[in-house]
Structure 1
């Protein structure tokens, strides 16, 4: 396995929720939207360039995360994307979107609207992720 480190911008902008053999699950530090980021443990920068086994694991974990976000937050729309223009490290955004959110219908990236998580919110969300998905993380 490669020496894995999160990109400094991801470290600065997120909370680490949990880790699997294949990925690290992050929560964007913006309580306005349920915004998760799944980071595969690889030095590859594109999803289609992952080794087949890792690609399957990452896609399975992305699907599980999307199902969790849908059931937990009941969004009007799920946004799932890999962009990487500012952060070259491969990462997958899974974002619950609502017609009432401050960015709707525009993309959420680069917007000034934000709110810090209140004390304990991140820990409660981490516990919920582990309770719901923990045994299914690969």
Structure 2
């Protein structure tokens, strides 16, 4: 059974679900940053997914990157799976701008997170949901 890692749960807001992945908003308004978590139990690496699931993960990641780029006109899109702190497989998609707080360094561990307001989260959920289309089901509550 899929259970979201507590650290991800505490650091993010649930935006919705794709067929494979839960889509989370990193609760740091300094960066447009979404995280995709395949809803599979006990998976820590991409190679542990089946070949079709790997393709789906990449397709969903590409859709999220496109949505962030559409909304924020990013200078660069950072896409990564690390898992050094959170073992559960998750894909980071971060829209980077040359004027963001961490540019050109990675965003991890830079400064103090600035949480989104409930209104900002709701607006982003609607905007992203509209771009992601029918395969994405928006979650009305944050979790």
Q: TM-score, normalised by structure 2?
A: 0.89
Equivalenced residues, count? 136
Over the aligned positions, Cα root-mean-square deviation in angstroms equals: 1.4
Q: TM-score, normalised by structure 1?
A: 0.93
* Contact preservation (8 Å) 1:102, 1:113: no
Q: Which is bigger in relative contact order (C-alpha 8 A, separation at least 6)?
A: 2
2:58 aligned residue: 59
- CA shift for structure 1 position 131: 1.3
User: Cα deviation per residue 1:40-99 (whole Å; 9 max; x = unaligned)?
Assistant: 112221112210121111111001111111111101111000010000000000001111
Correspondence 1:56-135 to 2 at 5 A: 56-135=55-134
Listed as ranges, the gaps of 5+ residues in structure 1 are none
User: CA separation in 1, counterparts of 2:97 and 2:19?
Assistant: 32
* Contact preservation (8 Å) 2:28, 2:116: yes
Are residues 1:14 and 2:19 paired?
A: no
User: CA separation in 2, counterparts of 1:128 and 1:65?
Assistant: 12
